[in-house]
Structure 1
Amino acid sequence: MKPDTHSSPIITVIGGGSWATAIVKILCENDVHIRWWLRNIEDVEYIRKFGHNPNYLSDVQINRRKVRTFYQLPKALEDATHVILAVPAAFIQDAMKDVRPEDLQGKVIISAIKGLIPNENILITDWVESAFSVPKGQICVIAGPCHAEEVALEKQSYLTIASTDVLQAAHFAKMMSCRFLQAHAIKDIYGVEYCAVMKNVIALACGIAHGLNYGDNFQAVLVSNSMQEIQRFVDAINPMQRDLMASAYLGDLLVTAYSQFSRNRTFGNMIGRGYSVKSAQVEMNMIAEGYYAIKSIFAINKQYQVNMPISKAVYRILYEKASPASEIQKLKAQLR
């Protein structure tokens, strides 16, 4: 599908959380028509009436002249030129259960999900391609160090749009660029997507260490070693020339590892302080993608056998109920 340059794009955003809300806010800055699907009919009606999301980023005012809300997904997809997936990876299959391949035919699909399909252990883009017969060149990924909370505050932010069709990515990057956000295009869709998954796992490790009262010195070493771990893993799965120091890779890792807005860091911090996984999930009432991702990463790495001591420690803590203090103590000897 070639980009339509003669009329305003119609963009369907799937998801009702903070990142979906932030994406809607960004798109409202530009000449596009937005269709926003939310699972809960009460939320749909509330946004129609009051112009903001009652549950997430509720201070963000939604431009109701540009945004139409839906609770029936196939209806929201009609006539759309672009579809943005902004549902946590663990729930995307359920959210899309009523969608047929013909509903997505000819549309550009953009994943704003930083996770893997649980149990199947595949990237969102590969799942979209396989489940809905969408050509790889019509799939993009949104990446970059960009927390929804700072978008809500209109803090200067940056995004990277990745696709095997870099012209398609560049076209969509223009739709996502506005007065407080810059977006650019690259071709490394797999590297960007795997790094986005891995940085959530690393943020869990940073949070666990912080919850155990390790300081900034240790976290700096942990993050630098993590970047090496990510590079080993990504190069094993998808070897190509890429600069992991770019903002889509290192920048995204840093903001997720250090920011007060990082759900994964917050979740890890609670685990380090002694919370159980279940109690941390209940108290947060938000999804930490890294919790699901590390299980998939651990399964994938059984094939590649990459040395990943930080990821292994996180997996053992979350899924084998290993002591956070003991695992981080063992990890210390392996860091340089």
Structure 2
Amino acid sequence: MENIVKVAVIGGGSWATAIVKILCENLDQVGWYMRNTNAIEHIKTEKHNPNYISSVEFNTDKLKLTSDINEAVQEADVLIFAIPSAFLEKELYKLNVPLNEKIIFSAIKGIVPETGLIVGEHFHNIYEIPFDHIGVITGPCHAEEVALERLSYLTIACRDSNLAKTVADAMSCEYIKTKVSDDIIGSEYAAVLKNIYAIAAGIAHGLGYGDNFQSVLMSCAIREMRRFIKRVHKIKRDVNNSAYLGDLLVTGYSVFSRNRMFGNMIGKGYTVKSAMLEMNMVAEGYYAAKSAHMIISKQDCKSKTPIINAVYNILYEGKDAKKTFKKLTDKLD
């Protein structure tokens, strides 16, 4: 990577594991922080993550594994964060190494609950990282398909186009195609919102709605996404591009989508708590629905976001999913 010596991935889940796999295709060494020391020892001896996409086998000579986040941050120039947004601050509290001279790329598809900000804005406001040193990595791309080396696409967004291209080059390989963008705020909000819409798609499926309704739901979702993003960050963008519409479609329809799976369980009658326990994975859309609702309330634009409103009402207000979606169907076209 031009002008960049060391990269570290922060996180031990499926998306972090996939990103490490991709980076190992091009880099001689990749730093990798995860808090689970047992997983680290397993990777060192068995060459795969025992908990997430365990089919991926690593060349451990390329990995600099650590359970000390300060060590990972200290030794890296570029930090790629890939942990659930709900747990980001808990990890950052452990830091005693400054971040303001690092380059931060977020592969997190959520809003930080402590501040109600998307991750890029959170790093800028709280940790004083210049926006030129902040980037976003978005799909459409599921970790499970990276593990299978199925052709996937990533969008690398950063205000500094040279930096975006450098990171894009590091993440390009035979099964990953990359493109660059300067819309860091819009693409990150899109990555957040598509998880909420995927929960909606899952709820619809769980309730017994068919493909015909799903197509209308997704059509309305991309228009709702456009209105939301335009409200919070108005620049010229084409939401039909893969970072927006493409990511929405794969998250709304894929069998690998944990947000769709979560929604499907809610539609079938699971409580939020029981669905989370059953999945044993984080559905980012659950947390995003609350944060998006707060933004919508402040912007006074609830009439423009019926799908987000419906998901929030089901997850946080305890509204009946069947009755809520019956009302929603009258608002979609």
Partner of 2:325: 328
Higher mean alpha-carbon deviation, 27-36 vs 274-283, is at: 27-36
Partner of 2:229: 234
Letter in 2 for 1:230: M
The 5 Å alignment of 1:176-191 reads: 176-191=171-186
Q: Which residue, 84, 89, 96 being the options, matches 2:92?
A: 96
Higher mean alpha-carbon deviation, 14-23 vs 165-174, is at: 165-174
Kindly indicate whether residue 109 of structure 2 is the aligned counterpart of residue 114 of structure 1: yes
Q: CA deviation at 1:119?
A: 4.1
Kindly indicate whether residue 66 of structure 2 is the aligned counterpart of residue 73 of structure 1: no
Contact preservation (8 Å) 2:154, 2:177: yes
Aligned mates of 1:65, 1:170 — CA distance in 2: 26
Partner of 2:50: 54
Contact preservation (8 Å) 2:186, 2:229: yes
Structure 1, unaligned runs of 5 or more:
none
SS at match of 1:65: helix
The 5 Å alignment of 1:1-336 reads: 4-5=2-3, 9-100=5-96, 102-306=97-301, 307-336=304-333
CA deviation map 1:161-195 (0-9, x unaligned): 01111221111110110111011111001110111
Q: CA deviation at 1:130?
A: 2.1
**Share of identical aligned residues, percent?**
48
Aligned mates of 1:83, 1:70 — CA distance in 2: 14
Aligned mates of 2:25, 2:68 — CA distance in 1: 25
Q: CA deviation at 1:293?
A: 0.3
Letter in 2 for 1:65: D
Higher mean alpha-carbon deviation, 10-19 vs 76-85, is at: 76-85
Q: CA deviation at 1:129?
A: 1.4
Aligned mates of 1:331, 1:190 — CA distance in 2: 28
CA deviation map 1:215-246 (0-9, x unaligned): 00000000000111111110011111001000
Aligned mates of 1:119, 1:318 — CA distance in 2: 19
Give the TM-score taking structure 1 as reference length. Answer: 0.96
Letter in 2 for 1:270: M
Structure 2, unaligned runs of 5 or more:
none
Letter in 1 for 2:43: I
Contact preservation (8 Å) 1:74, 1:103: no
Q: CA deviation at 1:79?
A: 2.6
SS at match of 2:238: coil
Aligned mates of 1:135, 1:32 — CA distance in 2: 28
Letter in 2 for 1:44: I
Give the TM-score taking structure 2 as reference length. Answer: 0.97
Aligned mates of 1:178, 1:10 — CA distance in 2: 19
